[in-house]
Chain A
Amino acid sequence: AQSVTQLDSQVPVFEEAPVELRCNYSSSVSVYLFWYVQYPNQGLQLLLKYLSGSTLVKGINGFEAEFNKSQTSFHLRKPSVHISDTAEYFCAGKVLSDSGNTGKLIFGQGTTLQVKP
């Protein structure tokens, strides 16, 4: 089955603490993987993407993610969070077919990051 799974629905963390948001993808999802952020009442904004190359990907606002093919994971990390990082975060991936990348883009369920003072 095609799926992108975010393992935590909510992650509470104190300001300046490190955080990891977990994402796993199924084998029918390609290695084109993305993390998006959504602030309240806004659209989705790209944080970072993995298409190929180095497995450690750096994005905006100090976020980074590591692609792990053997564990089919693409976890998002930040070493020190700010109050302004409070938002919903979505992991997404493009679906493969027998002939390659379909371009179909599916999302995980989302993780709400709550940064407390």
Chain B
Amino acid sequence: NAGVTQTPKFRILKIGQSMTLQCTQDMNHNYMYWYRQDPGMGLKLIYYSVGAGITDKGEVPNGYNVSRSTTEDFPLRLELAAPSQTSVYFCASSHTRTGLNTEAFFGQGTRLTVV
């Protein structure tokens, strides 16, 4: 029972490089989320998706892009990495329908450093 799986766990990028953080879930959840966690700032929502083909901006979307072509996958793209994107990134998923709201289940995180 894998839950939410993120890859890679660690990555060092140079300024201006691009990369994709992968996230997949096997719980058939309709909602998926990307957060970044910085010390003392809690978790900030980057993007979220309510289902395949539908995405929306969160609190801090600048510098990131997402897509949701399947229910299972929700990759996060950094096009031009900047030092300000050094952070720990978490992917999460939840099941949300009328009358049924589950908690969000989280992956183990990706620690990204931009140098």
Inter-chain contact total with CB atoms closer than 8 Å = 60
Given A101-B101, A105-B33, A44 and B94 contact (CB-CB distance below 8 Å): no
Known pairs A104-B58, A106-B59; A43 contacts B101 (CB<8 A): no
Q: Which of A51, A92, A103, A110 contacts B48 (CB 8 A)?
A: A103
**Most chain A CB inside 10 Å of its own CB: which residue of B45, B104, B106:** B104
Contact of A43 among B40, B41, B90, B103 (CB under 8 A): B90
B78: A residues at CB distance < 8 A: none
> B108 near A90 (CB under 8 angstroms)?
no
Could you tell me the dominant secondary structure of chain A's interface residues? strand
In this complex, how many residues of chain B approach chain A with their Cβ under 8 Å: the count is 25
User: Does B52 count as interface, using CB distance less than 8 angstroms?
Assistant: no
Chain B residues with CB below 8 A from A36, complex form: 106
Report if A109-B42 is in contact (Cβ < 8 Å); known contacts: A43-B108, A49-B103, A51-B101. Answer: yes
Starting from the known contacts A34-B104, A90-B43, A106-B59, 11 additional A-B residue pairs (CB-CB under 8 Å) come to A32-B101, A42-B108, A43-B90, A51-B101, A90-B42, A92-B43, A92-B104, A102-B50, A103-B48, A104-B45, A107-B45
Q: List 27 A-B residue pairs with CB atoms under 8 Å apart, sorted by A's residue number.
A: A6-B42, A9-B40, A34-B103, A34-B104, A36-B106, A42-B108, A43-B90, A43-B107, A43-B108, A44-B106, A46-B103, A92-B43, A94-B96, A94-B101, A101-B101, A103-B50, A103-B94, A104-B48, A104-B58, A105-B31, A105-B45, A105-B104, A106-B45, A107-B42, A107-B45, A109-B40, A109-B42
A contact set with B: CB distance below 8 Å:
6, 9, 32, 34, 36, 42-46, 49, 51, 90, 92, 94, 101-110
Which residues of B does A touch, CB under 8 Å?
Answer: 31, 33, 35, 40-45, 48, 50, 56, 58-59, 90, 92, 94, 96, 101, 103-104, 106-109
